[in-house]
Amino acid sequence: MRLTGRLTAAPDEFIRQEFLEPQFRHEVANLLPWYVLIEKALLREYHRMGVLSSAQVGHIAAALNGLTQKDLTAHADAVLLDMALSMETLVSQALPEPVPAWHLDRSRNDLQACAQLLYGRSQVSEIAALLGELAEVAHERAAQDVTSPMPGYTHLQSAQIITPGFYLSAVVEHALHVSSRLLATYDRINLSPLGAGPMAGQELPWDRDWLARAVGCDGPAPHALAAVASREWVLDVASDVASAGVGFSRFLTDLMAWSSSAYQLVELPDGLAGISAAMPQKKNYPLLERLRGRTGHLTAFYVDFATGQRNTPYSNMVEVSKEAGLHVSTMFATVRAVVTGFTLVIDRLQWRTDRMRAVCEEDHFGGFSLANELTLRAGIPWRTAQVVAGQYVTAVLAEAEGGGGHVNPAALESAAREAGYALDDPASFLTGSADVDAQLRAKTSAGSASPASVKALLAEQRERLDRVAAQWNTRRAAMRDAIAATDASLRPAPGGDA
């Protein structure tokens, strides 16, 4: 098959090896099902407009169903390593007789833009499913322990007492946020470029609304130029993915610190650990380092895509449609690995509750509660109460280093008197000062670390998890229904001419 009347030579070997072959392999591996779906939708429109007969549509549809990656790859050189031309050639060879009008009034521009979009949309759905699994695992693990005290840190310093369940419920929040954000992006980008043609539309009366529904989109992209010029969906998805990676990197940073010999608050089983070739006493966690390292790539992908698109003409450009999106599939593979690996970590994470409690008891976390008590009960202005509590904590920590305890009414009385206030019963202000469980229960606001608040939060999260999962299932069902309906539209009616 001669493919062009303009050029007389095949692509140079450098162009073939450096650009055409890698792109062709990517499209055969990732976009073939979507190209086939699009071709089937277009077939139905050809029949509706009277361009193709039922028999011709039936033969072409059967040939499309028979396309394989192996056959496409085997015939790649004969069609300039072009996915659309390769499909056209193989289908034409499988037909009992030529169909001259097939591909009438068509362009590869909107075809390719649509195939890329459908591929990206399917990847977003898969990532959302993995986020759902992460959220479920984190939610289950959170519910298992909402009472074991552990130190919470601000500015890398011990601050307040929290629990494993409280911390893991924050992981659930992040997964829910990312999944909900991707859902909004999915709905926003779910517009079909079909019917845009090269850039200014097509000449036959294509039903763009039906074409959009046939490939599972909510409608057609309203502007023909934007439909083929824009790859904004790539930036939208990459932005969501990059933001998700930032959150995952911060959770991983906590786990890297807490699993270190300096903290010893958590550990992972040996199957998720690594060794030191020189220091046999070490148990390393390179998995955490690998995962956090990959979150950095997620940020870089967005920059790569944006840089590739900027300063290009607003039209269909190979620079935008192919080169700028060169690493899109790598981005999807990377975020899948990050979410899957992080889910594994959360599922296997072991909390050292004895060590966590010991750290809470060694430090003095009661200063915040003490300042509140001094204001509420003794009428000491809150900022002054902070000073009194701070002086008291400094005194008891110094005493603890010398072998003393964590409760010293005389030190509190002295600090208050220095500030100009007298306490009738200083010991009564310190009843919960060294009781880490009491300090945990003292938090009563919604969303706090107290066991009751965490249980309430987990119940509310359960509702949101179910709601987001149902929304995603609705989108996936719509995609499956669209594929089934498009296939059904090509089946010959009883007694028809196909």
Residues 353, 370, single domain; the answer is no
Confidence of residue 403 (pLDDT cuts 50, 70, 90): low
Q: What is the pLDDT of residue 498?
A: 40
- CATH of residue 146's domain is 1.20.200.10
pLDDT in tens, 87-104: 999 999 999 999 999 999
Confidence of residue 3 (pLDDT cuts 50, 70, 90): low
Q: Which of 386, 376, 348, 361 is nearest to 438 (CA)?
A: 361
Measured CA to CA, the distance from residue 149 to residue 440 in angstroms comes to 7
Measured CA to CA, the distance from residue 179 to residue 189 in angstroms comes to 15
Mean pLDDT of 108-123: 96
Tokens representing 32 are 């073939």
Task: Please tell me what DSSP assigns to residue 492.
Answer: P
* Residue 153 placed within a domain: yes
Q: Quick one: how far is CA 135 from the chain centroid?
A: 12
Report the DSSP beta bridge partners of residue 409.
none
Q: Which residue has the higher pLDDT, 308 or 273?
A: 308
Q: Which residues does 101 contact at the CB level (< 8 Å), separation at least 6?
A: 46, 51, 52
CB 112 within 8 A of CB 84: yes
How many domains is the chain built from?
3
Strands 191-192 and 219-220 come out as parallel
Write down the H helix ranges in 310-362: 318, 328-348, 353-362
Q: Which of 221, 67, 171, 243 is nearest to 461 (CA)?
A: 171
Strands 266-267 and 350-351 come out as antiparallel
In terms of average pLDDT, the best of 170-179, 405-414, 423-432 is: 170-179
Residues 396, 477, single domain; the answer is no
Tokens representing 273 are 């650990």
The type of residue at 8 is: T
Confidence of residue 489 (pLDDT cuts 50, 70, 90): confident
pLDDT at 405 over 70: no
Residues 116, 225, single domain; the answer is yes
* Residue 38 placed within a domain: no
Q: What is the pLDDT of residue 80?
A: 74
Residues 204, 344, single domain; the answer is yes
Residues 341, 428, single domain; the answer is no
pLDDT at 495 over 70: no
Q: What is the pTM of this model?
A: 0.92
Q: Which of 87, 224, 336 is nearest to 328 (CA)?
A: 336
- Average per-residue pLDDT in the chain? 92
CB 128 within 8 A of CB 179: yes
Tokens representing 82 are 């072009």
Q: What is the pLDDT of residue 397?
A: 82
Mean pLDDT of 72-93: 86
Measured CA to CA, the distance from residue 435 to residue 430 in angstroms comes to 9
pLDDT in tens, 449-461: 999 999 999 999 9
Q: Which of 285, 439, 415 is nearest to 360 (CA)?
A: 439
Confidence of residue 404 (pLDDT cuts 50, 70, 90): low
3-state secondary structure of 315: coil
Element (H, E) at 160: strand 157-162
* Residue 492 placed within a domain: no
Token pair 């469980």: residue: 437
Measured CA to CA, the distance from residue 67 to residue 380 in angstroms comes to 81
* Residue 2 placed within a domain: no
pLDDT in tens, 433-445: 778 898 889 888 9
Domain that holds residue 396: 365-433
Q: What is the pLDDT of residue 11?
A: 85
In terms of average pLDDT, the best of 153-157, 239-243, 437-441 is: 239-243
The count of residues in the chain is: 498
The type of residue at 141 is: R
Termini Cα distance of the chain:
27
Residues 415, 457, single domain; the answer is no
Q: Which residues does 354 contact at the CB level (< 8 Å), separation at least 6?
A: none
Lowest mean pLDDT among 67-81, 275-289, 299-313: 275-289
* Residue 497 placed within a domain: no
Residues 165, 238, single domain; the answer is yes
Residues 225, 204, single domain; the answer is yes
Angle between helices 21-30 and 32-48 (to 10 degrees): 70
